[in-house]
């Protein structure tokens, strides 16, 4: 399937049309969520130095900000470094690599990473997912402690669905009361995104934040006990079958230089 047709079908399947407000930058954001799979040792330092001193400053010059950088704390295949890049312009994200290739300052600052020899690669693999923000949470929200580089942890959750139909119903469930349950439980809700391009489609990904792991556990307990959430779970519109077939749950620590 051609890339253009694939993207169009993904948008249609998720019922997320691109309208004029998004084209001029006033609508929902797009996110590139990038994962650098690393080996323990020199790769970790090299990758973090690259993201801090070359990639994030260059992305900021393109208008892509705030940029999040997170080290995988709990999850499969550690170590890994996640980079979250938001933009209201799909074209900006799509063209970023081409523009970075012409950015002399970026090329110089990232030379050790970008020109690492094949016998000493700077990473094992790179994986990337393109998402569009949910209508009910159209812009990324930076947690309150970030401005002062305060203590915080992040939870990155991905819900896979067995079909596009079930996926749309799960997205609708968020808009029908799940956002409210998170708010009442006191979560810092960072972003919600519907995957347009990536692996294991269809799926959605969202990020939450907390002061620490203990607070995370307490808030999930409050969420589970929320009467409105329990009512939503019992709604036949959402519980007629298993609309989520797999959940990936990762705990991330922000890098010292992360802007999220």
pLDDT digits (tens, 9 = 90+) for 233-250: 999 999 999 999 999 999
Q: What predicted TM-score, i.e. pTM, was given to this entire model?
A: 0.89
Residues 6+ apart with CB under 8 A from 175: 134, 135, 136
In CATH, the number for domain 27-254 is: 3.30.70.100
- Tokens found for residue 52: 């801090």
Least confident of 10-14, 42-46, 225-229: 10-14
Is residue 20's pLDDT more than 80?
A: no
Is residue 130's pLDDT more than 90?
A: yes
With bands split at pLDDT 50, 70 and 90, how would you rate the model's confidence at 141? very high
CA atoms within 13 A on the CB side of 45: 2
Quick: pLDDT tens for 81-125.
999 999 999 999 999 999 999 999 999 999 999 999 999 999 999
Tell me if 232 sits within 8 A of 181, measured CB to CB: yes
What ranges make up the beta strands (E) of 101-187? 125-133, 153-160
The Cα 68–Cα 254 span in angstroms is: 8
Q: Kindly report the CA angle at 216 between 215 and 221, in degrees rounded to 5?
A: 95
| Helix, coil or strand: residue 188 | strand
The pair phi, psi for residue 219, each rounded to 5°, is -70, -35
Question: What is the pLDDT at residue 76?
Answer: 87
Q: What percent of the chain has pLDDT over 70?
A: 90
Average pLDDT of every residue of the chain:
91
Question: What is the pLDDT at residue 247?
Answer: 97
* Tokens 């799909």 found at: 90
Is residue 183's pLDDT more than 50?
A: yes
The pair phi, psi for residue 242, each rounded to 5°, is -80, 95
Task: Give me the DSSP letters along 78-126.
Answer: -SEEEEEEEES-HHHHHHHHHHHHT-HHHHHHTHHHHT--TTS-S-SEE
Here the contacts of 104-107 (C-beta below 8 Å, separation 24 or greater) are 105/57, 105/58, 106/54, 106/55, 106/57, 106/58
- Tokens found for residue 68: 């999040």
Q: Is the dihedral of CA 68, 83, 196, 203 positive or negative?
A: negative
Q: What is the mean pLDDT of residues 29-47?
A: 96
Antiparallel, parallel or unpaired: β 188-197 and 203-210: antiparallel
Is residue 34's pLDDT more than 80?
A: yes
With bands split at pLDDT 50, 70 and 90, how would you rate the model's confidence at 23? very low
Q: What is the mean pLDDT of residues 188-216?
A: 97
Q: What is the mean pLDDT of residues 149-169?
A: 97
The Cα 74–Cα 52 span in angstroms is: 22
């Amino acid at each position: 399937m051609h890339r253009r047709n694939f993207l169009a079908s993904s948008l249609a399947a998720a019922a997320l049309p691109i309208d004029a407000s998004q084209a001029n930058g006033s609508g929902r954001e797009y996110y590139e969520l990038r994962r650098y799979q690393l080996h323990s040792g020199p790769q970790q330092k090299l990758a973090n130095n690259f993201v801090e001193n070359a990639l994030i400053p260059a992305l900021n010059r393109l208008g892509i900000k705030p940029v999040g950088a997170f080290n995988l704390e709990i999850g499969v295949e550690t170590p890994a470094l996640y980079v979250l890049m938001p933009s209201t312009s799909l074209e900006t994200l799509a063209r970023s690599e081409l523009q970075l290739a012409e950015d002399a300052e970026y090329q110089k600052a990232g030379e050790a990473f970008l020109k690492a020899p094949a016998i000493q690669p700077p990473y094992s693999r790179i994986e990337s997912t393109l998402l569009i923000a949910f209508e009910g949470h159209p812009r990324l929200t930076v947690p309150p402690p970030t401005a002062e580089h305060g203590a915080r942890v992040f939870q990155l959750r991905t819900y896979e669905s067995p079909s596009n139909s079930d996926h749309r119903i799960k997205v609708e469930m968020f808009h029908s009361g799940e956002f409210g349950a998170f708010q009442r439980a006191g979560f810092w809700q960072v972003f919600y995104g519907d995957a347009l391009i990536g692996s294991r489609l269809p799926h959605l990904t969202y990020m939450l934040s907390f002061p620490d792991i203990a607070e995370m556990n307490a808030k999930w307990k409050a969420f589970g006990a929320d009467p409105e959430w329990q009512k939503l779970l019992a709604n036949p519109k959402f519980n007629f079958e298993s609309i989520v077939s797999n959940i990936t749950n990762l705990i991330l620590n922000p890098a010292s230089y992360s802007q999220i």
